[in-house]
Structure 1
C-alpha cells in the first residue's frame, strides 16, 4: 500500500512541475524575462565550468596571466553560445515552418513563438554578460569595435524578444555566429604556442570560407529577402523597421573590414608555407 501511494504521488509532482513551467516560467508574458535572466545565469555557470575543466585538463591554462585566464573562460562561454544560437538560427530560418509556412496567420515580420522568443532571450542574456565583461576589463577583451558590435546586436535581439517583431531577420544575422568557435579556437592555438602548427593554418582557411558564407553571402541573402518582403517589413514599428536596415548594414560593413584582414592573414600564412 505504501509503495502504491508513493507511485501515485510521483505523477502528481511531475504534473505540478509541468504546470509551474507552463504557467509561469514559460508563459508568453514571462518568457522574455525568464529567458534573458536564464541566459545571464547560464553564462555565470558556464564561466565557472570552463574555469574548472581548464584548470585540470589544460596544462597551458595554469601558466597564463589572470587576464588571459579570464579571456580563456570568456571565450569558452562565447563558443558554447555560438554553437547553441547557430543551431537554433539555422533551424528557424531553413527548417521551421514558423517563417516559411504561408498558411500560418500574420506576416512573417510579426511572427514569433514561445521557443523562438526564449532562444533569442538567452542570446540577449549572453550579449549583456559579455558586454559587461568587455567593459569591465576594457580593452583586454576587445576594443571599441567589440562594444559597438555587441551593443547593436544586443539592442536588435532584445527588440525582437520583447516585441516579437523581425525575429526571422534576427535569426538570419545570428547565423553569423557560426564563425565564432573558429575565431576562439585561433586564439586558443595562439595562446598555447601553436601558431606555427598545421592546425593554425587549417583554422585560418576555415575562418576564411566560414566568414565568406556566414558573414558576407548570408547578409546579402538577408537584404535580398528584405527587398522581396518589403511590404511586410513596412508593417513593423518604425524602430523595428530602422533596426532591420541599420543594424545589419553596420555589422555587414564591419564584417567586410574584418574579412579583408582575414584574407591578408591567410595569404601571409600560405606564402610562409610555400
Structure 2
C-alpha cells in the first residue's frame, strides 16, 4: 500500500510538470487576458444599455453608476462560470468516477483550463476595482473572498490538480445574479415590489443549495477521496485544499445568516396586517 501511494505521489508531481508546458502557459495567459477584456467590455456595455432599460440610471451619482456597471460584469461572469462548471461537473465525462483511470484530483482539460483562466481574469479585474475605489465596492470581506479565490484557482490552473473541487466552488457563483438583482432593485426604489420579494426568496433558496448544501457535498467528497487528496502536491496544495474551502464556507454561512434575516424581515412586513 505504501509503495502504491508513493507511485501515486510521483505521478502527481509528473502531472504538474507535464501540465505546465510552454503551450499551456501561453493558453493560460491568453485566457486570463481574455477574462480581463471580457470584464472591461461588459462594464462598458452595461453603461450603454442600462439607460435604455432604466431611465433613472442617468440620475445616479458616480459611485452608484460605477457599482452598477461593476455588477454588470460580475453577473455576466457568474453566469458564464456557473454554466461552464456545470458542464464539466455534470455533462462531460471529465470527472466521471468510472470513465477514466486517472485520479480525479489530476484531471483537467484545455477547456477547463480556459474557464479557470477567464475566471482569474475576472477576479483580478474585480479585485483591482475594489482596491482602487475602496470602500465603494465592498469592505474587507471582499478582499478575503477574492484573494482566497484567486490563490486557489491559480494553484489549480498551474498544477492541473483539484479542478473538480475548484469547479464546485466556481459553480456557487450561480447565486451572484440574485444578489446583484437585489441591489439593482434597491437602487431603483423597488424594494416593495413583488419582483424584489421573489428575488429574495430565490436568493435564499439558491444560497442554501449552492453555497451550503453543495459545500457539504464538497467536504463529503474530500473525506471519501482523502486517499487521493493526500497526494495533492505537498504541502502548499494539500493545505490550501483543506483550508480555503473551509474559510469560504464560513463566509457563506455568515452571508446566509444575513440573507435569512433579511428574508424573514421582508416576509414579516408583507404578512403583517395593515391598520387603519
**TM-score using structure 2 length:** 0.88
RMSD value, Cα:
1.3
Q: Secondary structure in 1 aligned to 2:76?
A: helix
2:129 aligned to which of 113, 130, 133: 133
1:246 aligned to which of 238, 243, 257: 243
2:196 aligned to which of 197, 200, 211: 200
Offset at residue 27 of structure 1 (A)? 4.3
CA deviation map 1:103-148 (0-9, x unaligned)? 4242110111000000010000000000000111111100000110
1:59 aligned to which of 50, 55, 60: 55
Is 1:176 aligned with 2:172?
yes
Where in structure 2 are the equivalents of 1:1-274 lying within 5 Å? Answer: 27-238=23-234, 239-274=236-271
Find the aligned partners of 1:194 and 1:247 in 2 and give their Cα distance. 36
Find the aligned partners of 1:142 and 1:182 in 2 and give their Cα distance. 17
Q: Secondary structure in 1 aligned to 2:102?
A: coil
Find the aligned partners of 1:45 and 1:62 in 2 and give their Cα distance. 20
Offset at residue 157 of structure 1 (A)? 0.9
Unaligned runs of 5+ in 1: 1-25
Offset at residue 253 of structure 1 (A)? 0.5
Which stretch of structure 1 is more off in the superposition, 226-235 or 78-87? 226-235
Structure number with higher relative contact order (C-alpha < 8 Å, ≥ 6 residues apart): 2
Find the aligned partners of 2:25 and 2:107 in 1 and give their Cα distance. 16
Aligned residues, how many?
249
Offset at residue 149 of structure 1 (A)? 0.3
User: Any runs of at least 4 consecutive aligned residues in structure 1 with deviations exceeding 4 A, and if so which?
Assistant: none
Change in 2 beyond 3 A, CA 1:248/1:50: same
Offset at residue 31 of structure 1 (A)? 1.4
**TM-score using structure 1 length:** 0.88
